[in-house]
Amino acid sequence: MTDETPAERRNFYGRIHGKTLRASQKGYLAEDLGRWRLADVSRDENPARALLDPAALFGGRPVWLEVGFGGGEHMVHMAATHPGIGLIGCEPFVNGVAMLLGKIRAAGVDNLAVHPGDVRDLFEVLPEASVARAFLNYPDPWPKRKHHRRRFVTRDHLCPLARILQKGAEFRVATDIPDYVRQTLEEVPQAGFELVGQGATPWDDWISTRYEQKALREGRKPHYLTFRRL
Ligand SMILES: C[S@@+](CC[C@H](N)C(=O)[O-])C[C@H]1O[C@@H](n2cnc3c(N)ncnc32)[C@H](O)[C@@H]1O
């Protein structure tokens, strides 16, 4: 998809392991990840990059995608609020994956699947126009100007996203960084989307995420943007 080396790819999200996992989290990973993990996404498992059939995974239900689900609160909330869809989430940070698995157990939802890795691997194996909605909640801000090209809202990520989204699909972005709003408004339309709405009021089915709570505590203001795939 891009000419990046694996080392450059790692740079995109920095570290994969953070705090030591609690015993309960290790248990979730050992016992539950196998059930929820989307197979044949990684290059090791699927070197030919054969395309998946995501709708079949969820019995023909519309498929939604969450990029970088963090601790998984939005993902589990969406799966519970919209039982008629199937939600694929990806997150390379293993602590976040363990947190998501704990929340899945507690909520008892089953209409989701997890790629514990980089969204770009997922883009490669999802068919064109196979996803009906995508969420990008508080993407890594990359505050230094020289790192802005690493942000998700750049061509290298937005064009593959546009390819897998259906015409008319909604793409939601939440961020607390004014310069991220600027770049989102500049780059997302260039990748084949139109802006439908933006402002300080979240979507009706929104749940505040861990990162948003931190931003609010630190005095930053959330901004919500909605695009439609043309
Ligand atoms: C600032 S956090 C926000 C997490 C969560 N969405 C929230 O609102 O609490 C950004 C997340 O994006 C994830 N991320 C970064 N690069 C990614 C990539 N290439 N593929 C998938 N997730 C990625 C990070 O690991 C991190 O958990």
Band (pLDDT 50/70/90 cuts) for residue 8 is very low
Return the half-sphere exposure (C-beta side, CA atoms, 13 A cut-off) of residue 106: 11
Q: What pLDDT score does 94 carry?
A: 93
Mutating to test ligand 1, I would choose from 67, 121, 210 the residue with most ligand atoms within 8 A of its C-beta, which is 67
Determine the distance separating the centroid of ligand 1 and the alpha carbon of 60, expressed in angstroms.
28
pLDDT of 118 over the 50 cut: yes
Q: What pLDDT score does 191 carry?
A: 98
Band (pLDDT 50/70/90 cuts) for residue 16 is low
Check pocket membership of 222 for ligand 1, CB cut-off 6 A. no
Q: What pLDDT score does 17 carry?
A: 65
Secondary structure of residue 135 in the 3-state scheme: strand
Residue ranges of alpha helices (H) inside 82-209 are 94-107, 119-125, 155-164, 178-187
Tokens coding 55: 């709708």
Q: What pLDDT score does 19 carry?
A: 72
Q: What pLDDT score does 103 carry?
A: 97
Tokens coding 127: 């068919």
- Kindly state the average pLDDT of the residues 111-139: 97
Tokens coding 128: 């064109």
φ, ψ at 133 (rounded to 5°): -160, 145
pLDDT of 110 over the 80 cut: yes
Ligand 1 atom 16 nearest Cα? 13
Ligand 1 atom 22 nearest Cα? 68
Provide, rounded to the nearest whole percent, the portion of the chain with pLDDT above 90: 90
Tokens coding 198: 């933006």
Provide the sign of the torsion angle of the four alpha carbons 3, 156, 125, 37, taken in this order.
positive
Q: What is the pTM of this model?
A: 0.94
Q: What pLDDT score does 3 carry?
A: 42
Check pocket membership of 93 for ligand 1, CB cut-off 6 A. yes
φ, ψ at 224 (rounded to 5°): -120, 130
Q: What pLDDT score does 213 carry?
A: 97
Ligand 1 atom 13 nearest Cα? 68
